Structure 1
Amino acid sequence: MPGRTRSVHALPKAHLHLHFTGSMRVHTVREMADKHGLRLPPALTSQWPPQLSARDERGWFRFQRLYDSARACVQDEEDLRRIVREAAEDDAAEGSRWLELQVDPTTYAPFVGGLTPATEIILDEARLASGTTGTQVAIVIAASRMRHPLEARTLARLASQHAGYGPGSVVGFGLSNDERRGLTSEFEAAFRIARRAGLASVPHAGELLGADHVQVALDHLDPHRLGHGVRAVDNPEVLRRVVEKDITLEVCPGSNVALGVYRTLADVPLPRLLDAGAKVALGADDPLLFGTRLTDQYLSARKDHGLSDEVLADLARASIEGSRAPADVRREVLQGIDEWLTATPA
């Protein structure tokens, strides 16, 4: 069909759902493990990418254990800077012109003198990478559902101190980890702190749990975007509310399948979300553990759902429109999307 041969790598886009540790190249985590004298599990060495499922507590524990193994390899300033720089380089190679990299600095803080130094190192490298890679990098600070809600308030205040709208700034506040743990309502105060500073509210909701948890996030966290949010499709009323509130869904098909939310990529209800009028920004989530990157999500949209290049362009537009990119970056990316769509297919 016409338009099916345009390169998705060349399609300008934004990347709104990428986790700090999960963004690492697999050979990078191996090199860091060697550097610090650590031993990695086979799923990150000879058996990569790992076979995962998080449909039950045991499956999530295995996923979290692998994630923690990778995170333990990040132990100094050089490591932090390398992750940011390589994430920007990899995104630039895939046509991503704006990246909002999500990080919880809590784990890395002891190695560099505290939460503030860890955050400032990451922000400084985001500014440097923005000037050299072709991808503008901003940061989302995320609290963990596995920790006490009071810690989330501390992170929200930290994020507020560095709030801004350009590369090298904190642009959003998130809530990540297993949706089945903790009470979402208890994090409401932290999100109020972040919103007062002008930060985007970008909590995870609606992947491991269904539309009922999307509803809870809508009621208590006033989201601008939802990390995943794909399960909103399970309840037409919840999905209608998402559409009416103009909330962008950060849909990560590779993650959905790897964690057992859907059996195959063709089962991910991307067309149903789009038909309902939802704004969808595709994301890679954790390439280190899932083995797929940003353009793989666009290729799946084309191959597994038969979406045309016009629809792929709409997905790219939704990604930049749902971002916190400054006006000049938005204009440039949107113009690039139009040019990509009008170019003669290879």
Structure 2
Amino acid sequence: MSRPVSTLPKAHLHLHFTGSMRFSTLMQTAREQGARLPRALVDDWPPQLAAVDERGWFRFQRLYDAARACVRSEGTMRRIVAEAAEDDAAEGSRWLEMQVDPTSYAPHVGGLTRALEIVLDEARRVSEAGPVGVGIVVAASRIRHPLDARTLARLAAQHAGEGPGSVIGFGLSNDERRGHVEEFEGAFRIARKAGLAIVPHGGELLGADAVRSTLEAARPDRIGHGVRSIEDPEVLAEVVREGVTLEVCPGSNVGLGVYGTPSDVPLRRLYESGARIALGADDPLLFGSRLADQYELARAAQGFDDAELADLARMSLEGSRAPQATKDSAFADIRAWLEADDTDAPSTRQD
């Protein structure tokens, strides 16, 4: 029996701010601003991004930067948060941790602090109004100077808290082939002292050594991607031993050409190794797939049955910073989802 994954309660722990934007919202915003988007994004959506070489990543980053350049107002920023929460709710998500680097939006809204406050305020508003709680991860860019990361870590620490509308984590994103994770230890220390979850990217474009470096330098709670830990049994064993959750994003792995097909993503092998896994959509705007699609991929391409999909959903909640009441409610509804037949699965509800 295959129950609908859209009604399976889950958490979404790997979603980037601009990358979460609906394609229709991007098109409307670009028209209103008179902005000209790259034809590779407009004419054939989702765009073809395959290749992990420098040109492949440059293609991805160029399109992402073009979309991000359209985010120039408080209204657009609020719309992105609200629509991401709405889309997640439709897919059974109970808790969303959205990742944002306020640096890019700061010039348009009055500075770094104001940019982050807009995102936090809208996250608080949509959490109060709907079935999805939204926490925020502040993410530094590894292609900027480590001192910039420390600035963002201090800003994140000032807004650290528990529950919706708070900064709950600190990450490190962008091309992992540039900017060694060790250079950002100071920023991680600041964030950890504030009680934030440490959630850097690692082990997607680079192999298991990048995961090892991330474990040593960041002492992370989760690793964004981390799939290539599978390439070294010792590294994978450390991931499992330390209880680090891997934010696995199959759609983006294939989209960027890290793996050739959905069947090649080592999701099954990571799961059977005992690794904690939270499926994520990464950047739906560019990869064309959202959270529920990742569960469908696990089912269709990797042979996950409903009990195993429910286990993935439980792990996503366990790896999150969701309030315990949200987790407990979702755990109960996961059990109900498994007990129901495919026409009687529980619908998403508000706590």
TM-score (norm 1): 0.98
Partner of residue 185, structure 1: 182
Distance in 2, matches of 1:78 and 1:277, equals 43
Give the % identical residues. 66
Cα offset for 1:183?
1.4
Partner of residue 224, structure 1: 221
Cα offset for 1:255?
0.4
Q: How does 1:240-279 map to 2 (within 5 A)?
A: 240-279=237-276
Q: What is the aligned counterpart of 2:65 among 39, 60, 68?
A: 68
Counting matched residue pairs gives: 343
Gaps of 5+ in 2: 344-351
- Give the secondary structure class of the aligned counterpart of 1:194: helix
Partner of residue 7, structure 1: 4
The residue type equivalent to 1:119 in the other structure is L
CA offset digits 1:62-83 (Å, max 9, x no partner)? 1100000000000010011000
Q: How does 1:27-66 map to 2 (within 5 A)?
A: 27-66=24-63
Q: Does 1:83 align with 2:80?
A: yes
Distance in 2, matches of 1:32 and 1:140, equals 25
Distance in 2, matches of 1:77 and 1:311, equals 41
8 Å CA contact retained: 1:163, 1:171: yes
8 Å CA contact retained: 1:14, 1:96: yes
The residue type equivalent to 1:206 in the other structure is G
Cα offset for 1:54?
4.2
Q: Does 1:125 align with 2:117?
A: no
Q: What is the aligned counterpart of 2:319 among 307, 319, 322?
A: 322
Distance in 2, matches of 1:138 and 1:107, equals 20
Cα offset for 1:195?
0.2
8 Å CA contact retained: 1:88, 1:99: yes
CA offset digits 1:95-121 (Å, max 9, x no partner)? 001000000000000111100000000
Gaps of 5+ in 1: none
8 Å CA contact retained: 1:54, 1:260: yes
Distance in 1, matches of 2:166 and 2:151, equals 18
- Give the secondary structure class of the aligned counterpart of 1:263: coil
The residue type equivalent to 1:198 in the other structure is G
CA offset digits 1:262-318 (Å, max 9, x no partner)? 000000011110111001000000000000110000001100111110000000000
Q: What is the aligned counterpart of 1:196 among 172, 193, 197?
A: 193
The residue type equivalent to 2:74 in the other structure is E
The residue type equivalent to 1:257 in the other structure is V
- Give the secondary structure class of the aligned counterpart of 2:6: coil
Cα offset for 1:345?
2.7
Distance in 1, matches of 2:342 and 2:72, equals 46
Distance in 1, matches of 2:198 and 2:73, equals 29
- Give the secondary structure class of the aligned counterpart of 2:204: coil
**Which runs of 4 or more aligned residues in structure 1 lie more than 6 Å from their structure 2 counterparts after TM superposition?**
none
Q: Does 1:153 align with 2:127?
A: no
Q: What is the aligned counterpart of 2:13 among 2, 13, 16?
A: 16
Q: Does 1:234 align with 2:231?
A: yes
- Give the secondary structure class of the aligned counterpart of 2:3: coil
Q: CA RMSD in A?
A: 0.7
Distance in 2, matches of 1:344 and 1:288, equals 33
CA offset digits 1:218-265 (Å, max 9, x no partner)? 000010000001100000000000000000000000000000000000
Distance in 1, matches of 2:59 and 2:267, equals 27
- Give the secondary structure class of the aligned counterpart of 1:106: helix
Distance in 2, matches of 1:161 and 1:338, equals 38
